[in-house]
Chains A and B, each alone.
Chain A
């Protein structure tokens, strides 16, 4: 399971509390997408660490095609986003989730 740094993008409007750089992480879904809270969430195990994957607000995540039950527990996914600046926190604000040959882009305008 790999962790790759992608492009160092939008340094001037990075999300506060998150690193500026975009990172790809590949791992296994341990909790599938929930669209209940203020943001969609899922949990992904990467290198034996469980990451909180924070998605867009529920309606936006749903419009991107990523609805509850779409990706089962145990599936391999690659999430792209900005990780929390607090290293111990294991939280990523996520702009896209790749599952098989499907990519769900919840913040396409940030993916550059």
Chain B
């Protein structure tokens, strides 16, 4: 399905019809959930990534990674569950919007990076023992990529509405 075809389908879907029927405050409330989701996601990721890149070395990595990845997951779920209905309200308006092709590929790359980092030996090891320099470097690279991809995704998303 083409991008335009998908957007038109999404707009005419049951989700689109349902979201449009929710009343004059619904878009604002759904938008609020989206912002809270992004705040949780990016706030958590920022703390973890800066730690992985060398900040706050006195904070044990394993103690920080658990709450931040947990909160980031919750934030991501909130952002997706609010983002889809928001897009479905008037999806056809975004046909040809170049920022779609910034935001969604960046989210894809960010998720791929999460997968690769979490599968790495370094990430597996950080829960049980101190990391070797090579492993720290691996996670620092992953953290830098993470910040780059998520910031790109958020920027693309914000600019969508101003195209």
Contacts and interface: CB of A to CB of B under 8 A. Distances in A.
Interface of A: 34-38, 41, 57-59, 61-62
Contact of A58 (B19, B25, B93, B161): B25
B89 interface: yes
B25 A36 contact: no
Contacts, number: 28
Contacts of A36: 19-20, 26-27, 89-90
A49 B147 CA distance: 45
B24 A62 contact: yes
B133 interface: no
A62 B23 CA distance: 10
B20 A34 contact: yes
Q: SS class of chain A's interface: helix, strand, loop or mixed?
A: mixed
B12 interface: no
Contacts of B27: 36-38, 58
Nearest to A58: B24
A72 to B, nearest CB: 18
B90 A35 contact: no
Contacts of B113: none
A89 to B, nearest CB: 11
B5 interface: no
Contacts of B26: 36
Between A35, A36, A58, A59, the greatest number of chain B beta carbons within 10 A of the residue's beta carbon is seen for A36
A38 B19 contact: no
A59 B25 CA distance: 6
B54 interface: no
A61 to B, nearest CB: 8
A37 B89 contact: yes
Contacts of A61: 24
Nearest to A38: B27
A35 B26 CA distance: 10
A57 B24 CA distance: 8
B24 A59 contact: yes
A57 B28 contact: yes
B31 interface: yes
22 contacts: A34-B20, A34-B90, A36-B19, A36-B20, A36-B26, A36-B27, A36-B89, A36-B90, A37-B89, A37-B90, A37-B93, A38-B28, A38-B31, A38-B161, A41-B90, A57-B28, A58-B25, A58-B27, A58-B28, A59-B24, A59-B25, A62-B24
Interface string B12-50: 000000011000111110010000000000000000000
